[in-house]
Amino acid sequence: MCSLIIRKKRGGALSRDEIRWMIQGYTSGEIPDYQMSAMMMAVCFTGMSGEETKELTLAMAESGDVLDLSSIRGIKVDKHSTGGVGDKTTLVLAPLAASLGVPVAKMSGRGLGHTGGTIDKLESFSGFRTDLSPEEFVRHVNRYHIAVAGQTADLAPADKKLYALRDVTGTVDQMSLIASSIMSKKLASGADAIVLDVKTGDGAFMKRLEDARALAAEMVNIGKMAGKDVTAVISDMDQPLGCAVGNALEVKEAIDTLRGCGPEDLRELVLVLGSLMTVKAGCAGDVREARGMLEASLGDGRAFETFCRFIRAQGGDVSQAEHPEKLPAAPFQMEVPARENGYVGDIRTEEVGGVCLMLGGGRVTKESRIDLSAGIVLKRKKGDAVRKGEPLAVLHASDRAQMEAAAERLSRAFLITGEKPEREPLIKEIIG
């Protein structure tokens, strides 16, 4: 392994057999975390070719079982985000699409780096199970049109181990590692069609649009090679999505959105991704028709009903969905005031994710326990006017001293300008 690390450090390529050997060895425990950390860091510095990325994806997809979804009726659709701050899209999108009869077979992850993860968020519901067996997963999609599960030990286990390792070793933001991580899970989880939400901006792993575009193209190509119908939507992550950042706080905002309220950007993203999923599943003729169907479901309560059924089916306490005040709540709250009059010109979004992590909303080591109640609720977003002393955000925390330090850091993440900034489009491009 050491010679492979040295070769990658010097910018050399790894062969198909070497990649397979390395992935098998790491999955079985023969290759230790410290050597794999060094390899991941070498990849961050020198990169991987398209061929190496494809081989890494296949080796990880084949490191465990491949789910057989053939007994699920219809075209199974999955969705995956490359990771963002306040990205609670799946919590709204999955039940919304399912409410139209789209079979949503969704494999989700935990928080990664400064970004949150759907599985952690769903665990805000007491008793909620994400460790569905393959049989339960299939049964739930057939019965409720929706199942959201974490990776089992048998499904792309190489990615499961690598994901946890990359999370705490500063090795997340590399295109080949992200593409292979996402696509290995998607290939192993057996869906027919996949909609990818590729984030770009300060809060994303791909800060620049051209890098996001390259990542999207890489994943669409890998999907095509494996015979999957893949579309990638490149969306803005230059500010948090919606207003809530932090697990239970995001669940509350998702519930508002499912009830037909919620922030405009979250609703719009959900409608764009949901329209694509609905068309891919054959439940609508085109995206216009699909959008109308999705809007109707948000408006007449079907989306929220499907969400409640899904929470109950996976063992969660549905009264927390009906009464979100029963979700985990932090004992301390603190406003972060604006230091001057003006407009919010910029929000350093990765820093907002970092503040959430600092409050306990994410993992610092592989063994860390998350504080589900911790996080931030933004009171102003880009372009909003603010007067000195008015709140930019409210922190939610379990530790008062930590909250005070976090307030100072969050205050510096907001840039106040004299002029109202131009509005950035939420959807940048659609590829594939």
| Interface with ligand URA in residues 296-335 (CB under 6 A) | none
**Torsion of Cα atoms, 347 then 350 then 355 then 361, to 10°:** 130
Judged by CB under 6 A, the stretch of 124-132, 177-185, 304-312, 348-356 that binds ligand URA is: 177-185
- The reply on whether position 89 binds ligand URA by CB under 6 A is no
Q: Cα dihedral angle (411, 416, 421, 425), rounded to 10 degrees? A: 0
Q: Which tokens go with 155?
A: 């499904």
- CA 308 – CA 312 distance, rounded (Å): 6
Whether the CA torsion 127, 130, 134, 140 is positive or negative: it is: positive
Closer to ligand URA at the Cβ: 112 or 347?
A: 112
Q: Per rule CB under 6 A, is residue 235 in the interface with ligand URA? A: no
Quick check: 394 binds ligand URA (CB under 6 A)? no
Angle CA 56–62–67, to nearest 5: 130
Question: Would you tell me the crossing angle of helices 264-280 and 89-99 to the nearest 10 degrees?
Answer: 40
Structure tokens of 225?
Answer: 């090679």
Query: Could you tell me how many residues of this chain bind ligand URA (CB under 6 A)?
Result: 10
- The yes or no reply on residue 119 touching ligand URA (CB under 6 A) is no
Question: Are 170 and 114 a contacting pair, CB within 8 Å?
Answer: no
Beta carbon of residue 118, minimum distance to ligand URA (angstroms, whole number)? 10
Contacts of 389 (CB under 8 A, 6+ apart): 337, 338
User: Whole-number minimum distance, CB 178 to ligand URA, in Å?
Assistant: 4
Site stretch for ligand URA (CB under 6 A), options 59-67, 174-182, 235-243, 383-391: 174-182
Per CB under 6 A, 109 contacts ligand URA: yes
Establish if 278 lies at the interface with ligand URA (CB under 6 A). no
Tell me the sheet residues that pair with 230: 194
Q: Quick one: which of 178, 195, 243, 255 contacts ligand URA (CB under 6 A)?
A: 178
Nearest to ligand URA of 112, 245 (CB atom): 112
Region 147-166 residues binding ligand URA, contact defined as CB under 6 A: 163
Rounded Cα–Cα distance for residues 387 and 380 (Å): 11
Going by C-beta distance under 8 Å and a sequence separation of 6 or more, which residues neighbour residue 340? 388, 416
**Is 112 an interacting residue with respect to ligand URA (CB under 6 A)?**
yes
Q: Which of 4, 39, 57, 83 binds ligand URA (CB under 6 A)?
A: 83
At closest approach, how far in Å is the CB of 57 from ligand URA?
11
User: Tokens at residue 202, please?
Assistant: 């300060």
DSSP 8-state symbol, 424: P
Q: Which stretch binds ligand URA (CB under 6 A): 88-96, 134-142, 175-183, 292-300?
A: 175-183
Minimum distance, C-beta of residue 117 to ligand URA, in the bound complex (Å): 8
Among 89, 90, 118, 181, binds ligand URA (CB under 6 A): 181
Asked if residue 84 binds ligand URA (CB under 6 A), the reply is no
Phi, psi of 121 (to 5 degrees): -65, -45
Contact between 353 and ligand URA by CB under 6 A: the answer reads no
The Cα-based distances of 76 to 38, 64, 141 in angstroms read 37, 21, 9
Is residue 82 involved in binding ligand URA (CB under 6 A)?
yes
Q: What is the rounded CA–CA span in Å between residue 217 and residue 162?
A: 23
Per DSSP, the three-state class of 402 is helix
Q: Which residues are catalytic?
A: 80, 159, 166, 181, 185
CA distances from 159 to 23, 177, 259, 407 (A): 9, 10, 35, 35
- Least Å distance, CB 186 to ligand URA, is 9
Nearest CA to 318 out of 310, 305, 308, 304 is that of 308
Question: Closest approach of Cβ 131 to ligand URA, in Å?
Answer: 17
> d(Cα 295, Cα 257) in Å, to the nearest integer?
11
Nearer to ligand URA, 78 or 371 (CB): 78
Name which of 181 and 373 has its Cβ closer to ligand URA. 181
Amino acid at position 56, single letter: L
Closest-CB residue for ligand URA?
Answer: 181
Shortest gap between Cβ of 215 and ligand URA (angstroms)?
Answer: 10
Task: Give the integer Cα–Cα distance in Å for 148 and 140.
Answer: 9
Write down the least CB distance from residue 84 to ligand URA, Å: 9
196 binds ligand URA (CB under 6 A): no
User: Least distance (Å) from ligand URA to the CB of residue 89?
Assistant: 13
User: Should residue 56 be labelled a site residue for ligand URA when binding is judged by CB under 6 A?
Assistant: no
Site of interaction with ligand URA (CB under 6 A): 82-83, 109, 112, 163, 172, 177-178, 181-182
